[in-house]
Amino acid sequence: MSSINDPDESRSGDVRAAAREKARQLRTSQQRKDRRNKTLLTGGILIGVVAIAAIVAVVIMGAIRPTVPGPKNMASDGVVVGSGLTVKATPALAADAKPVASTPDPNGSAVDIRIYADYLCKLCGEFQRTNLKQLQPLVKDGAVTVEMHPVAIYTSHSAGTRYSLRAANAAACVANYAPKSFWAFNEALFANQPAEGGPGLTDDELKKRAEASGASPSDIDSCIDDGRFKTWVGAASDRALSGPIPNSSVKKMTNALLVLVNGKPYTGSLTNADDFKAFILQAQGDEYSSTSTPTPSPSAGS
């Protein structure tokens, strides 16, 4: 039998103590690792939840565009310019209200011309620069009315500046606050027109053109700066692209330019003023023929 001071028993006790200490250290290390993993997992979940919430918020905000009233003098989604280059006054439509189509002259004495155009569209610019000068005296005299519909179809074609949308918003600002300047401002946007694919005019340049057209900066500048009618421009453009086009057999816009004369689409040359003038005269003659009442023939024996 071993004594209490047996060296073999003492060594055996030391080994067991060392094993217990090693086991304790392993447990402690594992516990620390478990706590660290739990912390990282919880933090990762929280970060993921926050990221998902942010993405959802962005999607929701992007999908739900704030509704705003439309500009004054554009109840039809267009600006009607008539005798004396006077803009037909209309109230601002309430948010989400449907546009009210303008009514052509029932007597057919004034030719009804409607122009849907994007301010960045090259073909739109060619048509406007070719024809606005010859249209101006006809509008002044009351022989024709011109209804301008600014649309933003080429918004993604301006190196990320969304020029089409900004230019159409600026036109709506002028129609709302300075209607007497609208004809000149519309013409100014097509003169020295920015190239498709380029950044277009800056907001400051738009404001300068509005001022040069006779609009007061105090009325226009903040409207352009805060994009007051951008949401409305987007909605009006969507309506033109989805149709129907009022007072016309044309169902919807299929490109960035649509010109209607008494409801009939013009498909002739965009750079020949004589072609368009001939189309106007033909439409005027057709309208006169359809609205005139023939004189009864005298009956036999009268």
Strands (E), the chain: 79-82, 86-87, 111-117, 144-150, 257-261, 264-265
| Per-residue CA distances from 41 to 49, 52, 55, 63 (Å) | 12, 16, 21, 33
What percent of the chain clears pLDDT 70, i.e. is strictly above it? 77
pLDDT tens-digit map of 110-154:
999 999 999 999 999 999 999 999 999 999 999 999 999 999 999
* Domain residue ranges in the chain: 29-58, 79-289
Q: Is 247 helix (H, G, I), strand (E, B) or coil?
A: coil
**8 A C-beta contact, residue 196 and residue 156:** no
pLDDT for position 146:
98
pLDDT band at 205; cut points 50, 70, 90: very high
State the pTM of this model: 0.75
Strand order in the sheet with 144-150: 86-87, 79-82, 144-150, 111-117, 257-261, 264-265
What span, in angstroms and rounded, lies between the C-alpha atoms of 154 and 150?
12
pLDDT for position 296:
44
What span, in angstroms and rounded, lies between the C-alpha atoms of 153 and 131?
22
Its sign, for the CA torsion 250, 252, 255, 257, is: positive
pLDDT for position 109:
86
pLDDT for position 163:
98
- Classify residue 243 as left (phi > 0), alpha (psi -120 to 50) or beta: left
Looking at 3.10.20.30, 3.40.30.10, 3.40.50.970, 2.130.10.10, the CATH number of the domain 79-289 comes to 3.40.30.10
